[in-house]
Structure 1
Amino acid sequence: MKITIAGHVFSARFEEALSPKTCASFRRHMPFDSQVVHVRWSGEAMWIPLGKKDFEVAYEEATTYPTPGQILLFPQGKSETEILIAYGSTRFASKAGTLAGNHFATITSDLDKLCEIGMSTMWEGAKPILFEDD
């Protein structure tokens, strides 16, 4: 998969063995075009708020502590549907408390640039993001 954030292209892989249903659901929504903003409660990460969007998946390989480059989908529940992209130390949370999201993809290139873009969302605001097949 190819992910473009603010004009920079990252390589990523789907985590089919860990979260097959989430991967299949997300693929059906590709290309996926949105904006990414800095997280409020979770630490060093960016997120895509998706409101009531339903990917029709339950929890699988859900984690609260993603490592840099890991991409999580929170499928709905005590918070809105959202995608989280960790670029540093992260504990996934919301105003409703700690969350766990399905680890369905991992960015495999340019983690230093991911960190730079993540920090810029904190100071400069939203950035465009596009998920596409290679």
Structure 2
Amino acid sequence: MQKAPATCRSFLARLPFLERVIHVRWSGQGVWMPLGDMKFDVPFENATSYPSPGEIILYPGGVSETEILLAYGRVNFASMAGQLAGNHFLTITEGHDRLALVGQKVLWEGAQTIAFEQA
């Protein structure tokens, strides 16, 4: 929360957050939630183009549509408009050994439901 406070507050206000993830098109080993023109009203903070496996980033819109991306492997965050940077606001700290299985499932079986809830 310290490095992306506005993004964390905005996302927490939307919990529970239920979406579907699809495999990224241009970015590498990640899954994403295309959110169209959904407004999070946050600045760029703690932004990266290279999230590590387990890191979740929010692109608040601008050059491309609003989206959330979960890296399960190597990612160079981009869209058809080119390189992007998203706000790293959440990190999966356990189960990294299963992240690639999630990515492969989405790649080969299509969109999957994902839910974020406050514990």
**Which residue is 1:75 aligned to?**
60
1:82 alignment partner AA: E
What TM-score, normalized to structure 1?
0.87
Give the unaligned 5+ runs of structure 1: 1-15
Q: CA RMSD in A?
A: 0.5
1:94 alignment partner AA: S
Measured in 2, the distance between the counterparts of 1:120 and 1:95 equals 24
Measured in 1, the distance between the counterparts of 2:71 and 2:77 equals 9
Q: Percent sequence identity over matched residues?
A: 54
What TM-score, normalized to structure 2?
0.98
More strand per residue: 1
2:61 alignment partner AA: Q
Aligned residues: 119
Give the unaligned 5+ runs of structure 2: none
**Which residue is 1:12 aligned to?**
none
**Which residue is 2:9 aligned to?**
24
- TM superposition outliers: structure 1 runs of 4+ over 3 Å: none
Pick from 95, 108, 112 the counterpart of residue 123 of structure 1: 108
Task: Establish whether residue 86 from structure 1 lines up as the match of residue 62 from structure 2.
Answer: no
Task: Establish whether residue 57 from structure 1 lines up as the match of residue 34 from structure 2.
Answer: no
CA deviation map 1:74-126 (0-9, x unaligned): 00100000000000000000001000000000001111212101111111100
